[in-house]
Structure formats: structure tokens, C-alpha cells
A and B are shown apart, each in its own frame.
Chain A
Amino acid sequence: MVQNIIDVRSLSKSFDISSKEPGLKGTIKHFFNRQTKSLKVIKDISFEIKEGEIVGFLGANGAGKTTILKMLCGLIYPSEGSILVSGHLPFRRKENFLKNITLIMGQKQQLIWDLPPIESFYLNASIYDLDKFEAKKRIKKLSDMLEIDEELFIPVRKLSLGQRMKSELLAALIHEPRILFLDEPTLGLDINAQRNLRKFLQKYNKETNATICLTSHYMKDITSLCKRVICVHEGAISYDGKLNLLLKKLSPVKEILIVCRSEKDAIKLESSGFTIKNKIKNEITIKIENNSITSSLKTILNNFDIEDLFINEPPVDEIIGKILIKKDYDI
């Protein structure tokens, strides 16, 4: 049986936030008498993650995804509840714990700006107590996987965003961590760079059985990497489960465009009991529930003279967009 590597129980986090009224008067008032209030940004959440799993954290901006990741890797102290990551209390930041995790943030970088990435890799290698031979071996292996070579010797400031992100990944993975926390790793990357990064993460997970916790606003990252998603809405978990089940629940019907040989066939199909969305001459769009799609298509093909048909999947972005604004999903 696969062990839980992350175990979160009744976790909450509050921050003191100050607010300011607009204008000069508000600024002066804010300067002399700052009003702060305690805001609960994470509300009593519980979940477990098994070793080797890739879990996507979904939620709107400010929902609390990054705060959860930062509590999991020990950067932020929780206000209430407990967290165990790889058997450690993360906020104690013990050496053995830190050697097992890594955090990659799409919008922040750790590489030394004026030097080639290779210098940062060797610096990290010495921090993680790797000898030169071992560091060289790991850099070679990861650079082959990430398909970077010459870029390792060019100053970071002269690299493209995509090349920089690959180098960031290499710097963050040189110690071969068992758990990866990725906060919007594909932010700002072009489509090809995004695809390459996803390909790399899939391969890395397969080869090392590393656990990956990922937040991203690019739905393609989530759909191609994560079988399981945890949806966060205003600091609480609104859904925790398989992504395909969620998609089915949110989009229970498919739309099928059927092109009949003649308008007569289209009229016959219209009156045969299917839910019709629209009809234009010999083209008719019907809605069929996901669980009866095979039998319905068989009936249509056997009883009507069909020239062509197209199954339209609703866009994943649109479906997941619904998750970001809804509070609870009972599946």
C-alpha cells in the first residue's frame, strides 16, 4: 500500500491585514491610526497526499493555494491544525526535511542574475553537500531531460524566460527531492515552453516517483499532469478528488452536431425524442448525457441516413472556471 507523504489535519491560517481608505485623508489616517484586522485565509482544511501522486491545487486568485503550499514546505507557520510532510513538522525546517523538498515559483528566481546557471547549480550542490563528481552527474542527467546544454554557460540575464525556467528547475532539483512544490511554474512561458516543462515533470515523476503539488492558472498544466485536484475556494476545500469525475459532474452532457443526408431525415431525427439544441436545414445539434452516448449514437447511425457527425467537448477552461466561483461540490 502506498504511504501518505503529506497529511494535513484541520489546518487554518490567519493574517493581520491593514486596510486604507482612498485619498490624502485616508493616507494620513492610515499612517497615524492603522486599522488591522485578522483575516482567516485558510479555514480548517484536511487532506492527504500519497507518495508519487501529482496533485493540482485549483482556485481563483487569493483563494489560498500558495499559502497552503508555503505552509506545506514550512515557510509559514500554521495558526491552527497539524501538518506532517514526509514525517516532519515542516515549520521546524529540519535539515533532513529540507533535503527532501523543493519549491519552484514561476514568478521568483533563485539563480544568480549575472552568472551562468552552472555557477548556481554548483553553489546549490555544495549547500546540499554533493561532491563535484556527483553534482556533475546530476547536472548532466537533468540537463539532458530538460534539453538544455549551451544555455548553462550563458549569464542568466541573457537567457529567455523559458530557458531561465528550465535552469530554475535544474537548480531546484539538483538534490533529487522527493516532494516538489510548484507554484505556477509555467507562468509567462510560451506554448512550446509550457509543453516541454509539462513533459519534463511527467518524466521526472515517472522516473523518480516524486510527489508533486502544483498550482497553475493554465488548465492544460492541470489536465495533462494531475489525476487528482484539490479545489480551494475562499480558504476552504470545495472539492478533493479525481479530475475526470469533476469534469463529468460539471459537464454531464455532450453536444453532437449531426449532418443528415436530407432535411427530411433531420425533421425525422428532430421528432425522435432527443434533446435538440438547434436545427439549421439538414444540420441538427443534440445534447446527449455522457453515460448514454454510445447507445444513443448506435441508435442514430442505425435509424437515420447520416452524412457526418461531430462530438463537441465543452472547453476545460470553461468547466474549471465554474469551480473557481462555486463553494461546494458534492460528488
Chain B
Amino acid sequence: MNLRNYLKVYKKFLHTSLASELEYKTNILVDLITAILSLVGSIFLLSIFFQNSGYIGGWKFEQALIIQAIYTILNGITNTWFNPNLTEIVKHIREGTLDFVLLKPIDSQFFISLKKINPSGFLEIMLGFFLLLFCIRINQINLSLSFLILSFITIICSICILYSLWFFISTTTIWFVKTWNAIEVLRSFLYIGRFPLNSFSFSLRVFFSIFIPIAFITTIPSEVFLGLSQLWKILLEVIVASVFLITSRKFWLFALRFYSSASS
């Protein structure tokens, strides 16, 4: 299949999953309200941290809001694509319905990663963008071309790292069958991404940079927005994202050799 066909299939994925979700109007409404309340709650929590001291880890409240905005965008992407699809992998493997995916003449990783979308996640993405625009204004950031390119690259890299981590954990289901807990642990680590990396102790900074690179996901894009980032950090994020993406792909293809399907 060529790229044109993949785009055609993705259009169908969008159509069918939107149609499926729109079958349950109340559920969408509840999700939308949850997204708004969650963002308001997070900003409130952040403002409490900054109440006594104007700075945390060298970041002002207005600057830390950028991290919150990027986190909201990434969380929206997680809720729109990763959550409905990657949590389904566990179900596919446990119930043996991965059989149907593997027998289609289409890349199995593409199929299971993008088949569904949750439209309520779009609101979160939009809220994140509005908050980001607001932060650009209050922090008086100049919107130059190089700034836009670097921000785009770092956010794409963050999405790749997040996706790869999640996909990697879901793939282990082929051996361990149940990995809900590991995904929950990953989600709770992601909450840490709402705070600047410098606000943690040295050992935690190392842990969140090397072992679970949550720091790369939000802090580096935020530093780009504030003009604080150094080129080597951006390059490092690109390398980390590429390594994670390639490794998760190879790991999936390797794991499929051990797929034994569910008994009938």
C-alpha cells in the first residue's frame, strides 16, 4: 500500500470512529466538561505552588503556564489518539481480535495506533493552544520563523516519545497479557510533566531525563518558547524521539513473532 492509500484508509478511520462516538452524545458532553474542569483545576494547583514563592526551579508562574499549555495539548493528543487506540491493544491481544488486524493487507502498527479517535480530546488540544497563545502574549514572546520551526519540531518529538513509551508498554502484553498497571504508572508519571524539570532534585531530574524521559516531553518545548533552550538539548530531544520511535517499531515486529493468539 502506498501513502495515498494509507491517507484514504485514515479518512475512513476518522469517519467511522467519529460516527461511533457521536452515537453517545451524553458521553461526549461529559468528556468536554471534564476537559475544561481538568484544565481549570491544574492552573489552580499551579497557582497554589507559586503563592508563597514567585519562582519554582527558576521559573515564574507565567513561564510555568507554558509547560501547562504544552502538557494540555499533549494530554489532548493522548486522549484523542493514544488512549482509545493503545489501551485497545491489550484487549486485542487478550481476546485474540488482533488476528483480524494482522490479516489485513495494511501495516498493523498503523491500524492499531490510529483506528479510533476520541473527538472530546480535540477540545483539550484547542484549550491547550489558546492557553499557549495567552502565554506567548503575557511572556511577550516574539513569533519568528525559527521559533515556530523549533517549537513545531520539539512538540512533534514530544508526541513521538510519548507514543513510543505507551506503545512499547502495550506491546509487552504479547508476553505478559495484562499490562494495565504499567500504563497507569506511565500516565501518573506524565502528570509530573506539568512542572518544570528544574523544580525536582538532581537524582529525580536524571531519572526523568534518562529512564523515563518525561522531561523531554514538556520542559524542552517550553524552554524553546521562552528562548531558554540550547541547541544541544533540542538535538538531544530529536535523537531521543527517533531512537524511541525506531525501537518501539522494531520491538512490535519482534513481539509479533511471539503472538500466540487467544484460544477459541
Contact = CB atoms under 8 A, between A and B. Distances in A.
A92 B262 CA distance: 20
Nearest to B4: A129
A66 B97 CA distance: 14
B99 A75 contact: yes
Interface stretch (A25-33, A114-122, A269-277, A298-306): A114-122
Contacts, number: 79
Contact of A107 (B8, B13, B23, B264): B264
B261 A127 contact: no
Given A76-B261, A105-B264, A126-B8, A112 B16 contact: yes
Contact of B100 (A74, A76, A110): A110
Contacts of A113: 20
User: Can you list the 4 inter-chain pairs with the closest CB atoms, starting with the nearest?
Assistant: A98-B105, A110-B100, A95-B105, A114-B20
Nearest to A98: B105
A110 B111 CA distance: 13
A44 interface: no
Contacts of A108: 95-97, 99-100, 264
Nearest to B9: A126
Contacts of B24: 114
A52 interface: no
Contact of A66 (B23, B104, B259, B264): B264
Contacts of B96: 108
Given A127-B104, A129-B1, A112 B260 contact: no
Interface of A: 15, 66, 70, 73-77, 93, 95, 98-99, 101-103, 105, 107-110, 112-115, 119-120, 122-124, 126-129, 155, 183-184
A119 B21 CA distance: 14
Contacts of A122: 12
Given A107-B264, A108-B97, A127 B103 contact: no
A119 B19 contact: yes
A207 to B, nearest CB: 23
Interface of B: 1, 5, 8-9, 11-13, 15-16, 19-20, 23-24, 95-97, 99-100, 102-106, 257, 259-261, 263-264
B16 A115 contact: yes
A95 B1 contact: yes
Contacts of B103: 73-75, 93, 98, 101-103
Contacts of A119: 15-16, 19
Contact of A103 (B20, B99, B105, B263): B99
Contact of A110 (B97, B105, B257): B97
A153 to B, nearest CB: 13
Given A77-B257, A98-B105, A99-B105, A123 B99 contact: no
A114 B5 contact: no
Nearest to B262: A108
Given A98-B103, A98-B104, A112 B20 contact: yes
A93 B107 CA distance: 10
Contacts of A124: 104
Contacts of A75: 99, 102-103, 259, 261
Contacts of A107: 264
A53 to B, nearest CB: 21
B5 A183 contact: no
B261 A70 contact: yes
A98 B24 CA distance: 35
Nearest to B99: A75
Contacts of A98: 103-105
A209 B64 CA distance: 67
Given A95-B1, A99-B105, A108-B95, 4 more contacts: A74-B103, A75-B261, A108-B97, A184-B264
Contacts of B97: 108-110
Contact of A114 (B23, B100, B102): B23
B42 to A, nearest CB: 32
Contacts of B12: 122-123, 126-127
B8 A183 contact: no
Contacts of A73: 103
A65 to B, nearest CB: 9
A99 B104 CA distance: 8
Contacts of A115: 16, 19-20, 23
A127 B263 contact: no
A98 B108 CA distance: 12
Contacts of B102: 74-75, 93
A180 to B, nearest CB: 12
A120 B5 CA distance: 17
Contact of B264 (A77, A126, A183): A183
A184 B100 CA distance: 16
Contact of A128 (B13, B19, B105, B263): B105
A168 B137 CA distance: 55
Contact of A155 (B23, B99, B257): B23
B21 to A, nearest CB: 8
9 contacts: A70-B99, A76-B259, A102-B103, A103-B103, A119-B16, A119-B19, A126-B9, A129-B5, A155-B23
Nearest to A187: B264
Nearest to B17: A112
A103 B19 CA distance: 26
Contacts of B95: 108
